[in-house]
Chains A and B, each alone.
Chain A
Amino acid sequence: MTRTVRALLALALLLTLTACSGGGGDTVTIYSGRSASLVGPLLERFAEQTGISVDVRYGESAELALLIDQEGDRSPADVFYSQSPGATGFLAGDGRLAALEASTLDHVDERFRNADGQWVGVSGRQRVLVYNTDLMDEADLPGSVFDVVEEPWAGQVAIAPNNGSFQDFITAVIASEGEDTAVQLLADLAATEAPTYANNSAIVEAVSRGEVAMGLVNHYYAFRFLDEDPDLPIANHLFPGDDVGAMLIPSSVSVVQGSDQTDGARQLVEFLLSEESQRYFAEETFEYPLADEVPAVATIPPLSGLDVPVIDIDELGDGLEHTVELIRDSGLSG
């Protein structure tokens, strides 16, 4: 064989050895649907403070949930940290999650935790209408999320029908306004040809370019975009507090059933709800802290003063499959 092949073999062997080192001991394994840039620094702090080492597997929440489901009893995962209760509900339905302790659950308002203790909310993203400030005046924006299918806004509001947070929103509509209203909304969105995008980022990007005037997204994307380029002509518009369009979607954390690191896993959940972590979410990721009373940063209104609609968030976990089905049947294709 050639020298190149031999050199490559040697390199590969060396890299294998370095890549395989580490592991063992008391290690809490987290499957995280939240990305490294959002929660990585926080998980490092946890490891430093407690001496418990942490392995994190980052991925899409739904894909990680499917993986835990396939892994069954032998899942390496101790903690599942999901973008929203949707993917968590899938696992809870299959009995793959362990109940959290009451003292842990009590950190968080009842609205943002599971009644059976299967998950607890950590931080919140609010649904908003992002709009292009060159194309729209704040005064001319719709007053309710249901107005986006009415004139003059119809067809000008972008959505991401395949995205988890849009699905959560539709589940919330079903829970608060009834299935007929949700089906009607989806049908109207399809009939008025609402522009569809792959995800929240793509919507905000298109709005910032002026390709579309408005879009239904989570609140913090506009902050991220403005952080990268402060001149972008975008802003968030909040629907009034009694409107389901202003709902808060919690990220959620659970302990996996059959974990052999239950203590470490529970400590980690506690840590995520501690004042330090909650402050981190408020200051670093522009999210709403959900535990106790930690104020959000000045740019976003504090949760206590925030008039969010009361929605049974548990529905987000239970109703996801049905929601996906309704979106599929509506003919909306993203």
Chain B
Amino acid sequence: MLAAGFAAPLVFLVVQASGFGQPFTDAMTDPDNLAPLGRSLLLASSVAVAASVLGTASAWVVTRTDLPLARMWAVLLALPLVLPSYIGAFTLQAALSRGGLTDSLIGLSLPEVRGFWAAFAIMSLLTYPYVYLLVAARLRQLPSNLEESARLLGHRPATIFRRVVLPQVVPAILAGALLVFLYAVSDFGLPQLLRYDTLTRVIFSNLLDRPVSTALALQLGMLALLIATGERAAVGRLASAPSRTAAKGRSGLRWPLRRWRVPSLVAVAGLTTAALVGPMTVLVYWSVRGIVNGSTRPSSPIADPGQLLAPVLGSATGGILAALAATVVVLPVAFLTARHRGRTADGANALVVAGFAMPGLIIALSLAFFTLRAPGFVAGLYQTLPLLVIAYVVHFGAQSLRAAQVAVAAVPSSVIDVSRTMGVSRTRRLLRVELPMMAPSLLAGAGLVLLSALKELPATLLLSPPGFRTLATDVWAATTDAFWAEASIVSLVLVALSAVLTWLLVLRRADALS
């Protein structure tokens, strides 16, 4: 029943579509409109593959080898997750293009930063942490005895990785890859800036041609449902593997890298430079340039840093409430999907997952449509904080659902059996036994939702209470008018706030995920 809320965007699109008649049917069946769908699929699946490779490789290197400064890299590698894609894309594009920062500093530039390859590369750099976090956590939990035996038997590291480690981390890779795929499919900022015509981008170019934009949004929704169902089937098959039963053991072997030491170090340093240091450097450069030149307008944070207080509070409020609400709301769905199989569970899972694939704008419009047509009390929620939080939950609940499913599965059935025999009531069992065991995973999932909510823009603009500002809306406002210095400063604050919260909620607890 809770999952019904997640159905709002899809139901909304169907209701709208039924009123359009022929133009909608034409748009839906127009073969030209299949091209953007194909491009979205191509981009999202190749990014999911690349992010899986980058994420898994970097997770293995920092958890399983004697890489120097492994703890530092473990933190740095996760941080690109805090960069909103529109900021990552814009800064990297400006840095690497002809006449850009790297061109003027070291005479190095790319012929053009646009199109499929640019979108693929930059999106992969910004999303691999989803896979990295899940796989690194999984690797830390895995007992090392199997690997040790394999080594004693004289197998090479590559063989052991392929035959022993990989099968156990595949569920974590798949879960991360699904999040990456959905992120790539729903993102608008990056394909727009890098000019790759994905489905989302075409929807936004044709917004006011509603039969067309509705048809394309429905295609996106159906794609998400298909992918979610497919992933659940795949994970279901893998879940029977022994991976989930493994208890937390002594962390695995540390392979000596030897002659691979320097190349590994260069690879990890290169990855963090491209994904994190690069964009941050551009932001700092623009900020400094703007501060040196001074700002011409009084409401700028350059002239008055106090201007930052309201958006910081707004971002923190929206993000934290969304994280808490998402965790609570998806918990029943997690219980349902982790302990039961069947149509209801599969359907609920698919709906929650589909929410992540819908553009924020569609979610906002659907909530506006249903809220204002509902009776007084519900309509009164319109453009209040609770409704905005609901929008965030519908959009990002998939991320906390992943964590919650892991959490539910992690409660051993023996614990439940024992408490049941002792006559402990259901509620009491949930509160005193299960929730404490699940808390670390749930918090980590909440952290992922929080980060996404901090970056969210279109739903925030349409559904927030009057006068509500977030750092993301301030960045948007500054960039639309080309106040680069201001946009950079607010972006840096957004990244800093996200990094602090990621550290507190995700990284410290990453072990609990997977």
From the candidates B289, B320, B439, B465, name the one contacting A1 in the complex (CB within 8 A): B439
- Between-chain CB contacts (< 8 Å), 23 pairs: A5-B443, A12-B320, A12-B321, A15-B317, A16-B385, A19-B385, A22-B466, A23-B466, A35-B480, A37-B299, A55-B467, A57-B462, A66-B208, A67-B364, A67-B368, A67-B462, A87-B208, A196-B195, A201-B479, A201-B482, A228-B293, A228-B482, A324-B209
Q: Nearest 4 pairs between A and B by C-beta?
A: A209-B99, A55-B466, A15-B317, A162-B205
User: By the criterion CB–CB under 8 Å, are B193 and A202 in contact?
Assistant: yes
Distance from A165 Cβ to chain B, minimum over Cβ atoms (Å): 12
A333 and B192 alpha carbons, distance in the complex (Å): 10
- Segment 274-293 of B: residues with Cβ below 8 Å from A: 289-290, 293
Interchain CB contact under 8 A, B98 and A210: yes
Q: Give residues in B with beta carbon < 8 Å to A.
A: 94, 97-100, 103, 112, 192-193, 195, 197, 201, 204-210, 212, 289-290, 293, 296-299, 313-314, 316-317, 320-321, 324, 361, 364-365, 368-369, 372-373, 379, 382-385, 435-436, 439, 443, 458, 461-462, 464-468, 473, 477-485, 504
Residue A139 interfacial (CB < 8 Å): no
Instruction: List residues of chain B with CB within 8 A of the CB of A162.
Output: 192, 201, 204-205
Q: Which of A18, A37, A210, A229 contacts B481 (CB 8 A)?
A: A37
**Residue among B94, B368, B435, B468 facing the most chain A CB atoms (10 A cut-off):** B368
A176 to chain B, nearest CB (A): 22
* Chain B interface mostly: helix
Partner-binding segment picked from A71-79, A249-257, A307-315: A71-79
B461's contact among A58, A211, A225, A284, by CB below 8 Å, is which? A58
Q: A37-B483, A202-B193, A228-B483 are in contact. Are A9 and B324 (CB under 8 A)?
A: yes
CA of A134 to CA of B299, assembled, Å: 34
Q: Which has the most chain B C-beta neighbours within 10 Å: A63, A70, A204?
A: A70
Q: From B97, which residue of chain A is reached at the shortest CB distance?
A: A211
B-binding residues in A (CB < 8 A): 1-2, 4-5, 8-9, 11-12, 15-16, 18-20, 22-23, 27, 29, 35-38, 40-41, 55-60, 62-67, 70-72, 74, 76, 86-87, 90, 161-162, 196-198, 201-202, 204-206, 208-211, 221, 224-225, 227-229, 284, 320-321, 324-325, 327-328, 333-334
Chain A residues near B206 (CB-CB < 8 A) = 324, 328
Excluding A74-B382, A86-B208, 9 further A-B contacts by CB distance (< 8 Å) are: A5-B439, A8-B324, A37-B299, A56-B467, A57-B462, A57-B466, A63-B458, A63-B462, A211-B97
Contact status of A334 and B385, CB under 8 A, knowing A1-B439, A38-B481: no
A5 to B197 Cα, complex, angstroms: 42
Contact of A198 among B94, B195, B368 (CB under 8 A): B195
Question: Is the beta-carbon distance between A76 and B320 smaller than 8 angstroms?
Answer: no
CA of A224 to CA of B300, assembled, Å: 14
**B368 contacts A70, C-beta separation under 8 Å:** yes
A70 touches B369 (CB 8 A): yes
CB distance from B512 to the nearest CB of A (A): 12
Please, which residues of chain B bring their CB within 8 A of the CB of A334?
195, 197, 205
With A66-B208, A67-B368, A209-B97: A58-B479 Cβ-Cβ less than 8 Å: no
Tell me which of B299, B443, B480 has the highest count of chain A C-beta atoms within 10 A of its own C-beta: B480
Known: A57-B466, A67-B368, A325-B209. A201 touches B435 (CB 8 A): no
